[in-house]
Amino acid sequence: MGQLCVEKRKQKQSEDNISELNQQTQNQPQTQESQFKNPNQTVQVQLLDSVNTHQNQSIHDVYKFLSPPLGLGKVILIAGAFAELRKGVHKVLGTTRAIKIISKSEVTNEEVSRVLHEVEILKQLDHPNIVKILEIYQDSQKIFIVTELYTGGELFDAIVEFQHFSEKDAANLIKQLLLGLNYCHQHNIVHRDIKPENIMFESQDKRGTIKIIDFGSSRMFEPHKKMSFKIGTPYYIAPEVLQRKYNEKCDIWSCGVIAYILLCGNPPFDGDTSDIVLEKIKQGKYEFKSEEWDIITEEAKDFISKLMEMDPNKRYTAEQALNHPLDFLRIE
């Protein structure tokens, strides 16, 4: 069978993307005010009441941090800046959670703004297939963001390990992804960077629940109004995003790319460089002619074609995909 040849890349955000994210953060609903500081600037953040935000309580009074090697390592925030990921056990509940630790002295104003933008988006969402933010703490040096702990790893790593999935298992994953995206779109939120690296398994069960993570590139959108900032990741970015005229259906295209990869192990658009890949995406021509597709049903191919329709006006919405008449998502 085919083998995934997509490199795992963490893309830097362009300056116009950061400008947009900063503006989106400032436009969030206001209920409680706080300041996050770095050595040079002050970032004004509006905090919603839907998440427990602790301004005066130390996180160490509530959580016991698990020391490395039980820590989760580091993750890239933006432009090479890192946040530390640790496991913490709630001292009263005994629940183990993931804690993202951001050092105020090591990040820029833009980097903090992007993280807090993600927090503001996630505080509006409550869905079983979307990462759940639980609490926020801060002290003079650090910001602590507490979320649910997911132990199953990234979908990307599962694709590399298994190379391809059965139609039944692929349908289970794609259905959950579409359920999460449908919820986001109904709340006027577009993710804009759907890819296997941003999909986590809740547990080691690769047939279990998945979670959409990393909403740092997301934003609120206005229905019937196009977005123009080019943002996303090669291989998964929709062609209309490259043309800087798109809506929330850019997420559906990315979902189609993931479905394609799950079934055959290879991306629909490939090349030695990102420029080559992006040019192929602009053309939008993909095929189901490799030997891996010989055993895939026509229903599955049709379903992918509906998600990867070049014309966004004809492309399925998440809701339409979940009600696909050919029953690909209802395989038992």
pLDDT of residue 79 exceeding 60: no
Residues 6+ apart with CB under 8 A from 196: 154, 155, 156, 158, 159, 258, 261
Domain range 31-147, its CATH number among 1.25.40.420, 3.30.200.20, 3.40.50.300, 1.10.3720.10: 3.30.200.20
* 89-124 per-position pLDDT tens digit: 999 999 999 998 888 888 888 877 888 888 889 989
CATH fold match for the domains 31-147 and 155-330? no
Residue 45: the pLDDT is 38
pLDDT band of 308, cuts 50, 70, 90: very high
Write down the domain spans for the chain: 31-147, 155-330
Instruction: Tell me what pLDDT residue 54 has.
Output: 67
- Is the pLDDT at 33 greater than 70? The verdict is no
Instruction: Give the model confidence (pLDDT) of 127-182 as tens digits.
Output: 999 999 999 998 888 889 999 999 999 999 999 998 889 999 999 999 999 999 99
Q: Does the pLDDT value for residue 37 go beyond 50?
A: no
Residue type, 256: G
CB 43 within 8 A of CB 37: yes
pLDDT at residue 73, as a whole number: 58
pLDDT bucket at 290, cuts 50 / 70 / 90 = confident
Does residue 225 carry a pLDDT above 70? yes
* CA–CA gap between residue 229 and residue 52 (Å, rounded): 32
Percent of the chain, pLDDT > 70?
77
Which whole number is the average pLDDT over 219-241?
Answer: 95
**pLDDT at residue number 42:** 39
Strand partners, 52: 135
253-276 burial code (b ≥16 CB/10 A, e <16): bbbbbbbbbbbbbbbbbeeeeeee
The predicted pLDDT at position 71 comes to 53
Instruction: Say which residues have a Cβ less than 8 Å from residue 320's Cβ, sequence separation at least 6.
Output: 306
pLDDT of residue 40: 38
- Full DSSP string of 81-150: EEEEEEEEEETTT--EEEEEEEEGGGS-HHHHHHHHHHHHHHTT---TTB--EEEEEE-SSEEEEEE---
β 52-54/133-138 pair status: parallel
Statement: residue 297 has pLDDT above 70:
yes
Residue 38 in this model has a pLDDT that exceeds 50: no
Contacts of 303 (CB under 8 A, 6+ apart): 259, 321, 324, 326, 328, 329
Q: Catalytic one among 126, 139, 157, 193?
A: 193
Given a cut of 60, whether residue 41 has pLDDT beyond it is no
pLDDT of residue 327: 60
**What's the chain's average pLDDT?**
82
pLDDT band at residue 78 using 50, 70 and 90 as cut-offs: very low
| 327 noted as active-site residue | no
Which CATH code for domain 155-330?
Answer: 1.10.510.10
